[in-house]
A = this chain, B = another copy of it.
Amino acid sequence: MKIAILPGDGIGPEIVEQAVRVLNALDEKFEMETAPVGGAGYEAHGHPLPEGTLKLAKEADAVLFGSVGDWKYDTLERPLRPEQAILGLRKNLNLFANLRPAILYPELAGASTLKPEVVSGLDILIIRELTGDIYFGQPRGVRTAPDGAFKGEREGFDTMRYAETEIRRIAHVAFQAARKRGKRLTSVDKANVLETFQFWKDIVTDVHKDYPDVALDHMYVDNAAMQLVRAPKKFDVIVTGNMFGDILSDAAAMLTGSIGMLPSASLDAHNKGLYEPSHGSAPDIAGKGIANPLATILSAAMMLRYSLNKAEQADRIEAAVKRVLAQGLRTPDIYEEGTTKVGTREMGDAVVRALA
């Protein structure tokens, strides 16, 4: 089985290196091939998602992705900016289902900005649709307004759209995930304002008929943002569109106070997937050897579980991560008094040791 390794920019290469070491420390051996992406792709081949990188990602069984982006690319025209690589990979590989767990590890409860009683034991799963919505909807652009109160003026515009199949397939993923957990699914929409999300709500309600054992409720996105702050533990699984999911999954991750710990999986219809940490490329700390590699290591575990069918190896990695936390090892982002501060490589070393 072949894994495409796309380290990307900023702290990406450092944290991916540790995840690769962890993978190499398993009994099972995997073929791995590395290619540049994001700013690194632009530097090497003049494009954030070079042809060879896309080809590798397509033929591999899974993709391990670091992170992309750096301020120095801010002035490039949009199609050349690093984040186009991640959008291009999602679209080209049909990775429509983004799974983002927001879990608070008991050892890191203090890292949250929320009161311990509000977040301790937090374990929610956000399922974000990833290839549709206003992210990709055509038409879009800047034009002369064709109608309306500002007709004739310059305007920016985008199109939100969701077809029935797109909603059905992500709803199935969500109901199935809920079935394996607390059997409660919250579908987040804005059906009171948007036609797209009234349609979304109707289809999700229809798909629910196949999952009578799962409790479904519908919540407006503004209320969901409030409830995540007020009582996040009331959620089990949340499913929503690409745009709302972008906002809510980041808010949920931040509730834990340790976004450096949170992995993510982006899957197609056949469990092929791209795995990446939930955090960004953090160019401010790149190259300093202090970035937290655990989100990427846990992303590698998700990859073993979902795409490579090696659940036992995934369990081993997750247990090893718990062990190093219990040993008190912390990168600076999750450091607290009374624990031991370590760098990126030392943290990787510790996980490799804990695997044994």
Interface on A for B, CB 8 Å cutoff?
A: 78, 81, 83, 87, 113-115, 118, 134-135, 137-138, 140-142, 145, 147-150, 153-166, 190, 192-200, 221-223, 225-226, 228-231, 243-244, 246-248, 250-251, 253-255, 257, 259
Select one of B148, B157, B195 contacting A157, CB under 8 A: B195
Q: Chain B's nearest CB lies how many Å from the CB of A42?
A: 15
Q: Is the CB of B155 within 8 A of A157?
A: no
3 nearest A-B residue pairs (beta carbon): A156-B199, A150-B163, A156-B196
Bound CA span A116–B243, Å: 31
Q: Chain B's nearest CB lies how many Å from the CB of A2?
A: 27
Which residues of chain B are within 8 angstroms of A250 by Cβ–Cβ distance?
A: 222-223, 225-226
Q: Is the CB of A158 within 8 A of B251?
A: no
Known: A156-B200, A229-B254. A140 touches B195 (CB 8 A): yes
Known: A157-B196, A195-B158. A113 touches B163 (CB 8 A): no
Known: A114-B113, A222-B247, A229-B229. A161 touches B145 (CB 8 A): yes
In this complex, what residue of B is CB-closest to A142?
A: B199
Select one of B155, B162, B229, B251 contacting A162, CB under 8 A: B155
Q: Is the CB of B142 within 8 A of A195?
A: yes
Select one of B78, B142, B160, B165 contacting A153, CB under 8 A: B165
Q: Is the CB of A247 within 8 A of B225?
A: yes
Q: Chain B's nearest CB lies how many Å from the CB of A194?
A: 5
Q: Is the CB of A222 within 8 A of B246?
A: yes
Known: A138-B148, A154-B164, A164-B155. A230 touches B254 (CB 8 A): yes
Q: Chain B's nearest CB lies how many Å from the CB of A261?
A: 14
Which residues of chain B are within 8 angstroms of A198 by Cβ–Cβ distance?
A: 78, 142, 156
Which residues of chain B are within 8 angstroms of A194 by Cβ–Cβ distance?
A: 134, 140, 156, 158
Q: List 12 A-B contacts (CB under 8 A).
A: A113-B230, A134-B134, A135-B193, A140-B194, A156-B194, A156-B198, A157-B161, A159-B159, A222-B250, A225-B251, A226-B254, A229-B251
Q: Is the CB of A141 within 8 A of B195?
A: yes
Select one of B115, B135, B153 contacting A114, CB under 8 A: B115
Which residues of chain B are within 8 angstroms of A87 by Cβ–Cβ distance?
A: 193
Bound CA span A228–B247, Å: 12
Select one of B113, B166, B223 contacting A229, CB under 8 A: B113
